[in-house]
Structure 1
């Protein structure tokens, strides 16, 4: 692995953070495909959240929303080049235009297009950074240092293996500390990436604590955990495919609880803090009474009604999910930042874990609901103090 000291020193900047970045501070955005944005845009809390569009048409959709639909909230447009191409030492920001279409530098072109669309802040079109590919990460960091623009969000789509141990986490932190402006961490891997390694959650907390203006997007529960630790901002995927990254060329694996396919919309169970396909959720409750949801979208509807993908159930399920998330966000933001906010998040996760055996006993089904591994790890991460600092990377190479 290449040592980050090979990267040129960070240029000096003066003045305060750009107003656009200030607008993002402390928010949890909802990440959405452009085609599904109408399902979530009216449900978010404007003062605490915003939209992060994702994909090839993200900038085009953002421009339409700004110019023709009058959308004035926080709005980002992630090109998501990491979905289709890896970052390399020669091309950390891959070309994503049609073959033969002459353009200048892909990074400059993407940033210019996003700015023209009226986004709150542009995001770099970074390729997927494979595990231990320090050369690709170093090349991306070098270019960001040369750019020296703290108004640009540096997308850092990494394989979760970067968080597998302290050595690789320390090296990642060393790289990112060199970059001015926000760094949007995105985690890659099948299923639930943070469940892959025993210390991944702990190392993510260290990363957020040690890297100035670190953000976490393309996330699920970790969006709240990172915000509690002090992330600049986070983003929660509005659909299952946006809650983590699958490496380019890999087919996304599906959860067993999906019941063999997307036969119904995903529904967030508030007490269990996990998503289930609506028809699977209804089957688990069977003849028992399912919980009544009091979120502002459901207003007393039962959680077992989302049993198919027939209209209007998917839109209603999406509204329910966002409403619950916004409720958690309001509660989180009402707590003073720092250790109290971390304790609030830990207590909520701990309470959810404790609900599983209670609910299974009530249903007389010992294994009906199983605690997700990531939720369990957040519940075990007792915030007695801030995450321990990580030493700066050594100057020698570590290949």
Structure 2
């Protein structure tokens, strides 16, 4: 059966033609539209779960998946979506960048274009993307040759409206030397840079200094952004990133290197959706929350999606409407945080707000575990602990020392 709501496919030769008026109007001030926003990164298939909760004035969308281009075109040209909209080719999920082929984008050439990079950028522009993103392959640890090749090829475009995607293994942020190397390459580019971190489970929790090195990168690389992430979307935005993107599902909150299978906690089968616990600033399975609370009073959620009608232990199954309700709850809570963050003056004040919020969340683990009489029932994730120890003064001192 044909989906009547889907846009009719355009001839591939259209990709080389100038964008129509609606698309052209979006292109010149693309970075102005993205500035200081935290987008929601989501698969086209699950867009309906979260779209109503996305704040069009402060947020927007990053679409992923094989049908992301088609879905973006539908949103932009048939449904009149006007908020920022990016399309992530996500080539890094299946292919690594190499010196010979930094953009391993698998697409059939057209009569007018045969370069995979230019074809991908043209597809995205044709679908109404605010700015196009390069289809960069996964940049493995210490593979400076692949990183250099991707940067140099992007420089050849001489187009500052192109977002350079940098899907790098988190080990680039392990120590200052590799971080400095990454910074040096990214600073060669005049346009926006979208960093995405690869690694199993919680990449930023792996290395003790990864959070501070991420803040250093954001502080020193003009027009830097952080996509496909979680709490770091707020931390980076507070540190001065141009924009960020928070993953709507665990898959879009980090990158699993191509060829690897995503690791999970095998002791806890996934039979319910991941639910954002606002006070603890972390995701837990809905079933886990229900078991931990047992007969204790469970917090009622008053976010824009739940409106006081749902308790946090309600999302106990992946059946029916609960996954969609959990996703809407998660994004609604994120939008509340975003509105609060953006109301704070940029700079040290905003960094201090984020630092204090993370510290308070870590303290809440003891409070909540005590209230349900289960010491250690809820454990703070490593990344939250990292942010709770990353005081604003620390990054300033680190940056100042490094310049001497």
In 2, the alpha carbon distance for the partners of 1:392 and 1:206 equals 10
Q: 2:304: which partner in 1?
A: 296
Residue 123 (structure 1) shift: 0.5
Could you tell which deviates more after superposition, 121-130 or 383-392? 383-392
In 2, the alpha carbon distance for the partners of 1:66 and 1:102 equals 25
Q: Give 5+ residue unaligned stretches, structure 2.
A: 1-26
Residue 97 (structure 1) shift: 2.4
Q: 1:205: which partner in 2?
A: 215
1:131 to 124, 141, 150: 141
In 1, the alpha carbon distance for the partners of 2:326 and 2:82 equals 25
Contact 1:285 1:363 in 2 (8 A): yes
Question: How many pairs does the alignment contain?
Answer: 375
SS of structure 1 residue aligned to 2:81: coil
What RMSD in Å do the two structures reach over aligned CA positions? 1.9
SS of structure 2 residue aligned to 1:123: coil
Q: 1:396: which partner in 2?
A: none
TM-score by structure 1 length? 0.91
Residue 255 (structure 1) shift: 3.2
In 1, the alpha carbon distance for the partners of 2:164 and 2:105 equals 17
Q: 1:89: which partner in 2?
A: 99
Residue 360 (structure 1) shift: 0.9
Contact 1:191 1:255 in 2 (8 A): no
Residue 362 (structure 1) shift: 1.2
CA deviations over 1:201-226 (Å, ceiling 9, x no partner): 01000000000000000100000000
Contact 2:53 2:304 in 1 (8 A): no
Residue 40 (structure 1) shift: 1.1
Residue 59 (structure 1) shift: 1.2
Whether 1:330 and 2:328 are equivalent positions in the alignment is no
CA deviations over 1:315-359 (Å, ceiling 9, x no partner): 111111011000000000000000000000000000000000111
In 2, the alpha carbon distance for the partners of 1:344 and 1:100 equals 50
User: Structure 1's 102 and 150: CA in aligned 2 closer, same or farther, altered over 3 A?
Assistant: closer
Q: Give 5+ residue unaligned stretches, structure 1.
A: 1-16, 394-399
Could you tell which deviates more after superposition, 211-220 or 313-322? 313-322
Contact 1:163 1:203 in 2 (8 A): yes
Residue 385 (structure 1) shift: 5.8
Residue 56 (structure 1) shift: 2.5
Could you tell which deviates more after superposition, 380-389 or 331-340? 380-389
1:285 to 287, 293, 302: 293
CA deviations over 1:228-257 (Å, ceiling 9, x no partner): 000000000000100000000100011367
CA deviations over 1:170-222 (Å, ceiling 9, x no partner): 00000000011100000000000001111000100000000000000010000
Q: 2:370: which partner in 1?
A: 361
Q: 1:63: which partner in 2?
A: 73
1:188 to 161, 174, 198: 198
Could you tell which deviates more after superposition, 143-152 or 318-327? 143-152
User: Structure 1's 151 and 98: CA in aligned 2 closer, same or farther, altered over 3 A?
Assistant: closer
Bigger RCO (CA 8 Å, 6+ sep): 1
